[in-house]
Amino acid sequence: MRVFNLFLGVAAASLGLAGAALADEAPSGPAIAFNAAYSSDYIFRGISQTGGKGAASGGADLTYQQFYAGTWLSQVNFGPTAGDPQNKTKMEYDLYAGVRPTVAGFSLDLGVIRYGYTDSPSSAHYAYWEGKILASRAVGPLTVGGAFYYSPEYFGKVGDAEYVELNGAYTFKNKASLSGAVGYENLDKSKAGIDGYTTWNLGVTYPITDHFGIDLRYSDTDDTSRRFYTSNFAGDRLTASLKATF
């Protein structure tokens, strides 16, 4: 879910410290923000969710002090399955909530996410929950962070799963940022002989205006994922995205 959004957030973290100085001037009540994007491919943990095709997405976030809740929608295309050769799953919808405290100079994000899919075949068992713990710290223009996700019953009903990641971003004076991550997906039950795989990505994000940004990113996975996923879904690829926030 939302790889482009994730890296815009990581890259912006180093700029967020400057905004903290204005916290006293920020509205004391709840705030709502909206986002919309188009990506040449929807990549989630190194795996395409659209079979190498483009995807439109959008969402809304409600924040109040440290608390947040929101929803996000995106086009998906998983192709035919054994249970439904005409698989009509076309949309993913996410519901999430959590808190973002700051502890000892680290920005934390503790939350839960529900991934749902419209018109998905019941035999596919796509929908699932995840809990997450994210931490990052900015040192000048450099931001480094880590993430841990846990699901008691992962996508495809393969048992519990854990995803761990190390990420970082460097923001230049022109506000462009270079960011990347290395992650590992661990599955409790092997799927077609796969019990986990490594993924990584590296890209550049540039805010065209205060409301529009672009991202160009290279991503890949190790050979393990290719034992199950076809080349349309796993493998190295270059993805371009355009995002608007308002």
Confidence grade of residue 156 (pLDDT, cut at 50, 70, 90) = confident
What lies within 8 Å, CB to CB, of 232 at 6+ separation is 48, 51, 52, 79
Q: What does the pLDDT read at residue 158?
A: 86
Q: For 11, which DSSP code?
A: H
Query: Could you tell me the end-to-end alpha-carbon distance of the chain, in angstroms, rounded to an integer?
Result: 20
Q: Which two tokens stand for residue 117?
A: 């899919």
Does 36 have pLDDT greater than 70?
A: yes
Average pLDDT (73-82) is: 87
Most confident residue range from 21-30, 121-130, 167-176, 228-237: 167-176
Q: For 6, which DSSP code?
A: H
Q: Which two tokens stand for residue 40?
A: 């040449």
Domains of the chain: 3-245 (2.40.160.40)
Query: Could you tell me which of 164, 147, 175 has the C-alpha nearest to residue 6?
Result: 147
Which residues partner with 129 through β-bridges? Answer: 114
Tokens 């991550």, residue located: 181
Dump pLDDT digits (tens) for 49-66.
999 999 999 999 999 999
Tokens 């054994």, residue located: 82
- What is the spatial distance between Cα 133 and Cα 109, in angstroms, rounded to a whole number? 6
Q: For 67, which DSSP code?
A: E
Query: Could you tell me which of 137, 112, 118, 234 has the C-alpha nearest to residue 185?
Result: 234
Q: What's 105-142 look like in SS3? A: CEEEEEEEEEEEECCCCHHHCCCEEEEEEEEEEEECCE
Dump pLDDT digits (tens) for 117-141.
999 988 889 999 999 999 999 999 9
